[in-house]
Amino acid sequence: MDAVLVLEDGRVFPGRSFGAPGERIGEVVFHTGMTGYQEILTDPSYCGQLVTMTAPHIGNTGVNDFDPESIQPQVAGFIVRSYSEHYSSWRARGSLAQLLRDYGIVAISDVDTRALTRHIRTAGAMRGIISTTGESIESLLAKCRAAPPMEGQDLTQVVTCPEPYHWATNSVPFTPPYPNGPAQELTYHVVAYDFGLKRTILRRLVDHGCRVTVVPATTSPDDVLALQPDGIFFSNGPGDPAAATYAVANLRALLGKRPIFGICLGHQLMGLALGGRTYKLPFGHHGANHPVRYLPTGRVEITSQNHGFAVDPDSLPAGVELTHINLNDQTLEGFSYPELHCFSVQYHPEAGPGPHDATYLFGQFTAMMAAWRQA
């Protein structure tokens, strides 16, 4: 079946459908990871986005039951250069195309993804529409331009869990190379806000000795503290952080009450809760090879990233310590506020998919909880 991608600036990319029929509108972004397409597809942070893979061959290893980061694919649509219907992996249980069809995800292959990526890098992330309906380009372009932009959208309530649940499963048998292996006892209780939480984050917390209670995005601070946590975690998630005003207010009310660790959207929410500002990046950071410098030591980490907004470091109050800087564009990647026992990073230290350079941050979180207990 023929398909087409139309961008809001009028650029057209023809191709072939390999997912569900229909049409989907979203923000077009590109991901530079060579592997991990199933984790990317199921990452709730991609809600509302049409994800382009820069790696040319997608689908080679099929899909399996361990890699999903949530219960279903979360992307609005999927764009690839070459889709492989034939797959080979000892873990595979089916084809990528069938998974996309089962969940109604529109996907397009045979796209010149190199040209598309260069265009997005130059013009910035923009709205797009993938369609298999055969409608005119003019009609599709009008629909695309009528759709809301990412700025101002609160998508956390689209992807958050409907009710609290408990998690105590670690990363075995795919555990990172921890010096002493995963924790044998679950010493700490962490309450994790689900703004689009990835399962690998939960596994890493358990690896570091935490039993986790996951709560919906709108859970009140009083309800969180009533669970008597040793620490509080603010997760990744989609959309504009400034639109999630309830989450900012909740985090502000919890500052100083327990150790707090934030990742991705959680990092942005922490910046807003401290009185800072966020802004939209031209085309975001989406990939598994982004270099970040850890300022206290000068060590460079290769990181997994997926975000379209960033925190303005000049807007943060006195007392905040900048800890991580992106070496590609010098944007802020992490900060801490020791007085309030909180810290956050913009990238994904759980690495699902990606390198394990930043796994130490989970150890910093447990060390902070241990110090809190002793205070």
Tokens of 154: 């609160």
Q: Which of 264, 285, 307, 341 is catalytic?
A: 264
Q: What is d(CA 117, CA 106) in angstroms, rounded to the nearest whole number?
A: 19
Feature table: binding site for L-glutamine? 45, 237, 239, 265, 268, 306, 308-309
Residue 206 to residues 190, 195, 200, 212, Cα–Cα distance (Å): 10, 19, 10, 7
348 assigned to active site: yes
23 assigned to active site: no
Q: Which of 23, 69, 301, 350 is catalytic?
A: 350
350 assigned to active site: yes
Rounded to a whole number, what is the largest CA-CA distance in the chain?
67
- What angle, 0 to 180 degrees and rounded to 10, lies between the N-to-C axes of helices 199-207 and 360-374? 60
Feature table: binding site? 45, 237, 239, 265, 268, 306, 308-309
HEC per residue, the chain: CEEEEEECCCCEEEEEECCCCCEEEEEEEEECCCCCHHHHHCCHHHECEEEEECCCEECCCCECCCCCCCCCCCECEEECCEECCCCCCCCCCECHHHHHHHCCCEEEECCCHHHHHHHHHHHCCEEEEEECCCCCHHHHHHHHHHCCCCCCCCCHHHHCCCCCEEECCCCCCCCCCCCCCCCCCCCEEEEEEECCCCHHHHHHHHHCCEEEEEEECCCCHHHHHHCCCCEEEECCCCCCHHHCHHHHHHHHHHCCCCCEEEECHHHHHHHHHCCCCEEEEEEEEEEEEEEEEECCCCEEEEEEEEEEEEECHHHCCCCCEEEEEECCCCCEEEEEEHHHCEEEECCECCCCCCCCCCCHHHHHHHHHHHHHHHC
Tokens of 53: 């893979």
- Which sequence positions are flagged as catalytic? 264, 348, 350
